Structure formats: structure tokens, C-alpha cells
Amino acid sequence: MWMLELPPFTLFFIGGLIAAMTRGKLRGAIMVAIPVISAIHLWTVPEGIHLQLTFLDYELVPYRADKLSLMFGYVFHIAAFISIIYSLHVKDTVQQVAAMFYAGSALGAVFAGDLLTLFVFWELLAFTSVFLIWARRTSRAYHAGMRYLIIQVLSGVILLVGALFYAAETGSLAFGYIGLEGVAGWLIFIAFGIKCAFPIAHTWLTDAYPEATPTGTVLLSAFTTKVAVYALARAYPGTELLVYIGAAMTCFPIFFAVIENDLRRVLAYSLINQVGFMVVGIGIGTALALNGAIAHAFNDVIFKGLLFMSMGAVLHMTGRINGSDLGGLYKTMPKTTILCIVGAASISAFPLFSGFVSKSMVMSAALETGHDWVWLMLLFASAGVFHHAGIKIPYFAFFAHDSGLRASDPPNNMLFAMFISASLCIAIGIYPAALYSLLPYDTGYNPYDATHVLAQTQLLLFSALAFVWLNLRGMYPPELRSTNLDVDWIYRRAIPAALQKVFAVIWKADGALRQAIRGKLSQYQSAIANKHKGLGGLLSGSYPSGNMVLWVAVILASYLFMVFIG
Amino acid sequence: MDTNKTKDKQYLFDNPKNIKRVLYTLYASCFLLVVLDFVIHRHVYHSWENLPLFYPLYGFVGCVVLVFVAKWMRTFLMRPEDYYDNPKDDYDIPDDVDSEHTLKNAADENTHKGQTDQTTNTIGGHDVDA
């Protein structure tokens, strides 16, 4: 069947082209239909290499399907479908087209079987998604988008250099297990790490995501980091370093999230925290840990999307997103409130919600392999994520003090998209076997034993108790209009300021030097001119008029001479 | 038209009793979980889990520490909301390529040079004329 050789991204790219040329309901219908058709097709695709070609001396595999890539393929289809429904009301062609190409690029990347194809989609991810940020059309969004683009493209360039080194070292471009050996391994690791929002390289995410459009952020949260997680899971499973990087990723963002005012930035920090759990799972590298990482990526796309959608709905309806401006919205946005709470319960990993069935796999794997301290960090991060994403987000947006805002629930398409996500969160939480059957390994893991459920519930409810206690005592940090410095301060303030100073010194020195040389030159010039004054020499400042008469005579004589010759 | 109606309407948590109810439910569940900790026989994967009430204490203490550390972080990380937006900031000058800021700034630096240029020329010019 010809469809078999058609990589999943092609349909989305075609859809993007159609979206550029159509308007209104027709565009909406086509855009919704594409992920559905593509998903049905993907469901029938067997594992294996479906497309292969030779480029120069290298085998390129633009379409390779195995359990790992199929899993990400499925969830990307779900995410694309939900986000498209969520953004059906958007009339901005730029956003709609960018959404299709962005989702297509993510699919292209996870089905890429060689590093060159991966690189192409890696860069396409950056170039297509940046329009979702710029589409906000504010100066902040423009600058944030620029910084985002520069860092993403940098990641791609490092990937390309790494791929070239890899080709030189191994003679092949195949994208499989790479490992941290040699220059190539490290370069590719760094490239993946930047896109995966490793600590210090994470600020592109917290900088740019909250500046995107309400619908754009939902898409952004689904694809870029998850493609990076996929790439790490394929190339670096069992890399010990990842355990520690991941553990750091789970812990440090929660501190920033607690004091952050922009609720979508809070979610961006919690996105890094969740990706941290996946990175730890990949680093541990056992069957259970990898399953946990992949399952958590799957769930995270859905519940983080749900949370971003609920905050997008708040932004869309009220025009505000800062915790200090919001509050009391449950009164007029009851549906959004409930859907947001479902997302919050899922990300906090309450039993019967999707986060629980995947996060616990990573935690169990950490204990099994003797990573005690990492396990403690993950436990702390689990309590922390409940604190900032589970409680803070719904509490400051929908409850807390009454802001006086009386916005109604968002348009039906937005509510419906959130409803699908919320249903999936609960369905996966109640019946995890469906999700587990899609995972690459069969581990027979059961999340619902009494020990786990009790421990997790205790952890969460006592975290809630801490929140209540701090709040009643007035010790909880209030939401303040503020910017909190993060690593991006280095390239947004420190380096520009330092360069400014350095260049100021250079220009000053340069100006002084030029002035000194000019002064000297003109001194010499006038001195020489004075010396030869009135002598008619080559260097004198003025000439006697007799000289001029002589030269005129010479010219006339030469004319006469030429006439004779002619 | 909705706003008129909603102004008088009593919402769920406008009544302080309902807030109390939610809180008491939470306290009761926490108490229940503490009791269950001693009733249910748990599989222990790690010696730390043997400590009575390990998870509840860890959750509570963890969150309090989290909040206090975060509060302390505010003392040196917090800046005004428009910290990065301020057009007078150094940061914006290299970023806004060819904007007025750059030109103004360049003019400041170049005024000296411009003057020196002129003076040298006039000196030269005088000499030529003389």
C-alpha cells in the first residue's frame, strides 16, 4: 500500500499548505481531519523501516517505526488533535499554518532513523514553532522569540556537527544508541540537552513559552521537549549522568515556580520539573525506568497540555495571567475550574489520575537500582510539584481573593479540547493497562498496590496541609508583580552590559588614538608646507603664479604637437 | 447583563462555612491517613520507609522548606516587573538593531571625533589659504 511509505509528517505538511490557502470552517474541518486520518493510518503501521534512501555514501532512513517512536507518534497525534480543536476559533493564518508544520516536524523527528533527517526536523521544529511566539505580536514576544530561535538553532548546529563527527567516527549516520563516548557522543548529548531544557540551558523555555499566544503555548508544551526526551531515550538510555541531571531538573524549578507570578511561567517551570522525571528514568535505563520515562512523557503531554489550556482560557477570557491579578474565577468559570483541577490532580500524581501510574514507575526504578538520594529528591519534587502546579495554579487563578473579574467560560471548542484531555487523564489513571500495553517493555508493573497508594496520598495531602498551614499563618509568599532573575540574566543583562562597557572603552581609546595621529599628521603637514612655502616644490602649500603660466604653455604646446601628428 | 445578576449572587466559597468544611475534610483525611499508616501493612523497599509517618512528615516538612527557601530566594532574585523591558537598559541597546538608542549612543561617542575631524580640516584649510 502506498500509504505505508508515506511518513506521518507529510500529511501534516500538506495540511499546513492547505491551511495557508483556506479560511473559516473549511480550514477548521481540514485541520481537525488531518490528525485523525494520520492517526488511523499510524495505528495500522507495523514496526520496521518503511523508507530508505542513499545520499552520497550514507544510508538515510527518513521513516523508521518501532515501539519507542510509535509511542511518541501516537501522543503527538493526540496532542495535535486536541490543540487544533482548542485553537479552532483562532483566525490568524500564521498560527494555524505554523501549528500544522510544527506538529509535522515533531512527527518527522521521532520517525527519523538517521541523524541527518533528525537534524532537518530538529531545525524545522525551531523555525515553525517560533511563529507561535511571534504571533502574540508584542515587543516582548518578539524578543523572547528571537532568543528562543537563536538557542534552538544553536542546538541544531551542535547536533549537525555532532552528526558529522559521528559519521567520521563510525562511518554511519544511523540514529540508534550513541552513548557518551568520543566527541560526537558529547556534542549530540549537548544538542539534545539544550532542547530538553537541562539546567542552565533551560531558560529558553521559561523565557519564551509564557510569551506565546494562549493557543500557541499549548502546542509548544507538547512537542519540543518531548522530541528531546525521545532522542535521549533512543541515544542515551542508561547514561548515569542523566540520573543526576534529571534529579536536578526535578528540584530546582519548583523553587522558581513558587515565587513566579505569571501562571503560565509557573507551568513552564513545572514542565522542566516533569521532564526531569523522564530524564531520570532514561538515565537509570532499566526496562521499568524506560517504560516509566516514556509513559510519563505520554501522560505529561496530555496533562501539561490541559493545564496550559486552562491557563490559556483564563488569559483568553480575562486578558490577564499574573497570579496577582487573578482570583475568584471559579464563580464564573466553573467548567474551566474543574478541568484545571483534573489537570492539577494528574500532574500531582494523585491515585486514579494519569500522573500516578507513570511517575511511580520512575520512582520505583530509582529505589530498585539503589539511587537512594535521587529517590529522595524525586519525592521532594513530587511534593513540590503538587505544591506549585497542583495547588498554586488552581488556587491563585480560580480561588484566593476575589479579583472582581467576572469572565465567563471560554468558547465551546476550548472547553471541548480541555474535556478530551481531562477524560484521557482520568481514563489512563483508572485503566493504566491500556497505556502499559503500548510501552516498549513488558514489566508487569502494577501501580495500584496499597503501599504505593497510601504513601503517595500521605505525601500529597500533607503537602496540602503545609500549604493550608502556611496560608493561614500568613507565611505563604504572596503573588507579587515581579520578574525573577534566572540564568537568562547572564545573556540578557550581564553579557550585554559587559560588552557595552568593553566597547565603550575600546571606542574611547580608538577615538583618542585617531585624534592623536591626526593632530601629529596635520602638524607635520603644516610644518612641511611652511618649509616649502612659495618655492613651487611638490610639497609646498601654495604655488607661485609663474608656475601655472608655464604649465598652461606646456599644455598648449602639446595640443599643437598633436594637431601636427594627426 | 450577567454581571448585574452575579453581583448579588452568593457563590460557594463566599460563605465562610464552606471554606471551613473543605479544611475540616482535609484535616480529617490527613488524620485518617496517619491512622492507616499504622494499620496497613506496607511493603518496604527502603529502610527510610520504616520510619513511622515517613511520607506525611517528608511531604509536610519538604513543602515548608520549599516555601521558605523560595521566599529567601526572592530577596536576591526579585526585580521589578519591567526589569527587562526598560528601554533605557543597557540590554536593549545591542538588541534593537539600528534603533534610535544605538544612534543616540553612537552620536555621544562620535561627537568628539566629529569635532576633531572638523578642527583638523580647518587647520589644514587655513594652511592652504595662507
Per the CB < 8 Å rule, is B70 touching A258? yes
- The answer on pLDDT for A410 being more than 80 is yes
Domain ranges of chain B: 1-41, 95-129
Q: pLDDT digits over A365-391, tens only?
A: 999 998 999 999 999 999 999 988 889
Per-residue confidence band for B10, with pLDDT thresholds at 50, 70 and 90: confident
Using the predicted structure, report yes or no on whether residue A518 has a pLDDT greater than 90.
yes
Backbone angles phi, psi at A27, to 5 degrees: -60, -45
- Summarised one tens digit per residue, pLDDT across range B11-24 is 888 888 888 999 99
Q: What is the pLDDT of residue A85?
A: 95
Whether the pLDDT of residue A537 is over 80: the answer is no
What residues make up the domain containing A460? Answer: 237-474
Segment A415-419 mean pLDDT:
96
| A63 φ, ψ (degrees, to nearest 5) | -140, 100
- Indicate whether A497 belongs to any domain: no
Q: Are residues A324 and A358 in the same domain?
A: yes
- Residue A401 is given by DSSP the state S
Those residues whose C-beta lies under 8 Å from the C-beta of residue A103, and which sit 6 or more positions away, are A12, A35, A76, A79, A80, A83, A219, A223
User: Is residue A432 domain-shared with residue A551, that is, in the same domain?
Assistant: no
Among candidates A103, A69, A71, A70, which has minimal Cα distance to A84?
Answer: A103
Do A413 and A291 lie in a common domain? yes
Q: Are residues A13 and A91 in the same domain?
A: yes
**Shared domain check, A185 and A74:** yes
- The alpha-helical segments, DSSP class H, found in A171-213 are 182-195, 203-208
Cross-chain Cβ contact B63/A466 below 8 Å: yes
Residue B108's pLDDT band (boundaries 50, 70, 90)?
Answer: very low
* Contact check, Cβ <8 Å, B67/A477: yes
Residue B115 has pLDDT above 60, yes or no: no
Look at A143 and B55 and tell me if their CB atoms are within 8 Å: no
Q: How many structural domains is chain A composed of?
A: 3
A454: chain B residues, CB-CB within 8 Å: 33, 36-37, 40, 42, 55
pLDDT given at position A4? 61
Kindly tell me if the per-residue pLDDT of B118 is higher than 50: no
- How far is the C-alpha of A276 from the C-alpha of A378, rounded, in Å? 9
Please indicate, yes or no, whether residues A392 and A257 belong to a single structural domain of this protein: yes
User: According to the per-residue pLDDT averaged within each range, which of A488-497, B60-69, B104-113, B114-123 is highest?
Assistant: B60-69
Indicate whether A41 pLDDT > 60: yes
pLDDT at A529 over 90: no
pLDDT digit string, tens, across residues A317-359: 999 999 889 988 999 999 999 999 999 999 999 999 999 999 9
- Is A211 in the same domain as A261? no
Residue that terminates a domain, selected from A228, A260, A289: A228
- Per-residue pLDDT band for B130 (boundaries 50, 70, 90) equals very low
Average pLDDT of A137-156?
94
Average pLDDT (A159-186) is 92
**Which of A3-17, A29-43, B92-106 ranks highest by mean pLDDT?**
A29-43
- For residue A423, pLDDT beyond 70: yes
The ipTM assigned to this model is 0.83
Alpha helices in chain B (DSSP H): 2-8, 16-39, 54-77, 92-95, 100-129
User: Are A258 and A276 found together in one domain?
Assistant: yes
Q: Return d(Cα B10, Cα A482) in angstroms, integer.
A: 33
- Calpha distance A409→A419 (Å, rounded): 13
Tell me the shortest Cα–Cα distance from B100 to chain A, in angstroms.
16
Give me the percent of chain A exceeding a pLDDT of 90: 72
For residue range A216-231, list pLDDT tens digits in order: 999 999 999 999 999 9
CA dihedral (A275, A281, A287, A288) positive or negative = negative
Q: Does position A489 have pLDDT exceeding 60, yes or no? A: yes
For residues A263 and A380, membership in a common domain is answered with yes
Q: Under an 8 A CB cutoff, do A463 and B124 touch?
A: no
- Asked if A330's CB is within 8 angstroms of B11's CB, the reply is yes
Kindly list the residues from chain B whose CB atom is less than 8 angstroms away from the CB atom of residue A480. Answer: 74, 78
pLDDT at res. B31? 92
User: What pLDDT band is residue A538 in, cutting at 50, 70 and 90?
Assistant: low
Residues A290 and A408 in one domain: yes
Residue with the three cell numbers 499563618: A473
Overall pTM > 0.90: no
In this structure, of A211-215, A429-433, A540-544, the range with the lowest mean pLDDT score is: A540-544
**Residue B126 pLDDT > 50, yes or no?**
no
Confidence band for A540, pLDDT divided at 50, 70 and 90: low
pLDDT at B95 over 60: no
Cβ proximity of A356 and A466 under 8 Å: no
Of B44, B81, B84, the CB nearest to A492: B84
| Contact (Cβ atoms closer than 8 angstroms) between residue A355 and residue A333 | no
Q: How far is CA A63 from the centre of its chain?
A: 24
Residue B109 confidence class, pLDDT cut points 50, 70, 90: very low
pLDDT bucket at B7, cuts 50 / 70 / 90: low
The helix-helix angle for A372-385 and A240-259 (nearest 10°) equals 30
Q: Are residues A102 and A126 in the same domain?
A: yes
Asked, for residue A484, whether it belongs to a domain, the answer is no
Whether the per-residue pLDDT at A281 is higher than 90: the answer is: yes
Distances (CA, A) of B101 to A492, A493, A563, B98: 17, 16, 64, 8
Q: Are A162 and A308 part of one and the same domain?
A: no
Which domain-ending residue is among A177, A207, A228?
Answer: A228
Is the model's pLDDT at B119 over the cut of 80? no
Test the B interface: residue of A446, A483, A523 with most B CBs within 10 Å: A483
Which pLDDT band, with edges at 50, 70 and 90, does A5 fall under?
confident
